[in-house]
Homo-oligomer: A and B are copies of this chain.
Amino acid sequence: MRAGEEAEAVAPAEADRTKSTRRRMTSSTGRPRSEEAHQAILDATLALLGEVGYSALTVEGVAQRAGVGKATIYRRWSSKLPLVVEAFSALPGFEDVDAGSLEHDLKETLRKYLEAFNSTALGTVFPSLAGERAHNPELSKLIEPVARARREPFVRIFERARARGEISSDVDIDLAADLVVGPISVTLFFRGGSLSPRMVDPLVDLALKGILKRG
């Protein structure tokens, strides 16, 4: 993924911000919204997410931590959900790895992937948000692009591999991406397990070669 696209992909809420502010017609009148406050709120949100988790996060707490009135938060986000989405969609994405080998690129990228989940709020926030999707279609729409952006690097790796002829042209690339990311998802959601980088090599090896004996 290249920088420009990444920015676009992981921060879609930026464009959304004006849209989400219903009452706003012209942005030219009145005192402009404080960019400082905006950032303080997002920072406080991420900090608290890391500390207490999504469900124990309160708008009241964020306001206090950010040194901001509650109304300033509600003026921008209708509830804690889109706030959290925007906060964590601002987390850094990761760059493409392109060393010319499917296996190597996958392993390298997965390691970064795990690293991101382990070292940022992603690992705890993402499951929380995911859990809300089923009953909150609005949220669902908001997270979708963020989630897609996270999978994107894998899609690119497979596309390059196909171009190089490493994989058959009739392999469903989305499915392939899901296959390598899948065990991580399972670990994260089904087991409570920690994401160790040691799981990467065997995982990629198995996904590439297949479970069946090769004959």
Contact = CB atoms under 8 A, between A and B. Distances in A.
B191 A144 contact: yes
A157 B172 CA distance: 25
Assembly stoichiometry (copies): 4
Interface string A147-175: 11011000000100000011110011001
Chain A contact residues (Cβ within 8 angstroms of B): what range? 35 or more
A32 interface: no
Contacts of A172: 202, 206
A147 B54 contact: no
Interface string A46-57: 000000111110
Given A140-B192, A185-B189, A211-B167, A124 B134 contact: yes
B56 A135 contact: yes
Interface of A: 52-56, 102, 123-124, 126-136, 140, 143-144, 147-148, 150-151, 158, 165-168, 171-172, 175-176, 178-192, 199, 202-203, 206-214
